Copies of this chain bind each other. A is one copy, B any other.
Amino acid sequence: MAGDREQKVTPWEARAAEGAAKIDFDKLIRQFGSLRIDQQLLSRIETLTGKPPHHFLRRGIFFSHRDVHTILDSYEKKKPFFLYTGRGPSSEAMHLGHLVPFLFTKYLQDVFDVPLVIQMTDDEKFLWKDLQLEEAHRLAHENAKDIIACGFDPKKTFIFSDLDYMSSCPNFYRNVLRIQKCVTVNQAKGIFGFVDTDCIGKIGFPAVQAAPAFSTSFPSIFAESKEIGCLIPCAIDQDPYFRMTRDVAPRLGFPKPALLHSVFFPALQGSQSKMSSSDPSSSIFLTDTPKQIKQKVLKYAFSGGRDTMEEHRRYGGNPDVDVSYQYLTFFLEDDNRLAQIEQDYRSGKMLTGELKKELVSVLQDLIGQHRERRKAITDDILREFMTPYHHDFYH
């Protein structure tokens, strides 16, 4: 039967319901039991930081949260918290969608001036993919350079590969074990959909992604304090890991981590699925040349325009499903220009070709600047970010 395949969102898969033009993020909020980011939260962030909220917040790209008010309460009382995000290094080249959480995390680090830990789950990618350990480990280091190129503060940012950190920090393995003791196979199956044909490494892995939410996993940064709150910006498909983490946190004497959830970055083909490295025609990579960017946008970006210019002028385009317009909401920072484009496209004044041209220019700039910054990331800089540092921010 057509149309009866339901929307499915897990850390490994994201697709809209059959026949739907978009993933239904409101449904995810209800299903996961998180809270919508509302005007009141935005105003509070603006008041506390003294700056307008990031356009990802203003435009609903980060749209859902858990317990962010608790973190802001701490911040108001000058109590410490830290940021935690991560990446599964499954491919050499990162794509535009991968940038989203890091650009946002950089904003959070800038406005709150807090320590940040970034986990590279090379162990996860080895377990899930047809990938050798040494290759996953290499990709973790390659991807870390792209992450550093987003502009993080080397004095307050620790990037670690699980393979490296598990075998260098005693507290990390200990926290993984503590979490693994609190979660049954039944619970892991319920949360992640594991089955008995999965390998035993997968079943235990969620504890590895949970552990960095607990400050004692980073003794050099937070000494032995268990009281330090954690705020995790991530795409909403990672929520299952942190629902589990929040469930075990009080039993282990840690605060529950707070979360900020983003929507997915759509595939070039449309918002029914997210951009995926394993499908190059769906993705624009941070390594793409200006020419490749132009070709991909012109060839693949799903258009909300009309079939003929005449119809388009008469009835207007639909920016809500137009991928080029959606991408501009992520990367065109100028609110006025974006509003103008939306209006012109919807009215039919702007054609799909003109809209795409606008996007190509924005992306060529963004990726070109990223490429320049990425080139400057030497192995020494990488080593600086990947060496556990001693942080005296709170001491």
Contacts and interface: CB of A to CB of B under 8 A. Distances in A.
A184 B196 contact: yes
A182 B207 CA distance: 19
A181 B197 CA distance: 11
A167 B170 contact: yes
Nearest to A197: B184
B163 A183 contact: no
Interface string A177-204: 1101111111011000011111111011
A191 B198 CA distance: 16
A170 B123 CA distance: 12
B196 A185 contact: yes
Contacts of A203: 185, 200, 203-204
A174 interface: yes
Chain A residues touching B, majority SS: helix
Contact of A200 (B174, B180, B195, B197): B180
A216 to B, nearest CB: 12
Given A166-B167, A167-B168, A200 B185 contact: yes
Nearest to A206: B200
Contact of A182 (B163, B196, B199, B204): B199
Given A133-B177, A177-B126, A178-B133, A184 B199 contact: yes
A183 B168 CA distance: 26
B167 A181 contact: no
Interface residues of A, number: 37
A173 interface: yes
A67 interface: no
Q: Among A123, A177, A181, A200, which residue has the most Cβ atoms of chain B within 10 A? A: A200
Contacts of A199: 180-185
A379 interface: no
Interface of A: 123, 126-127, 133, 163-164, 166-170, 172-174, 177-178, 180-186, 188-189, 194-201, 203-204, 206-207
26 contacts: A123-B173, A127-B177, A127-B180, A163-B173, A163-B174, A164-B170, A166-B167, A166-B173, A167-B169, A167-B170, A168-B168, A180-B199, A182-B199, A184-B197, A184-B199, A185-B185, A185-B194, A185-B196, A185-B198, A185-B199, A185-B203, A186-B196, A188-B200, A189-B196, A200-B206, A201-B204
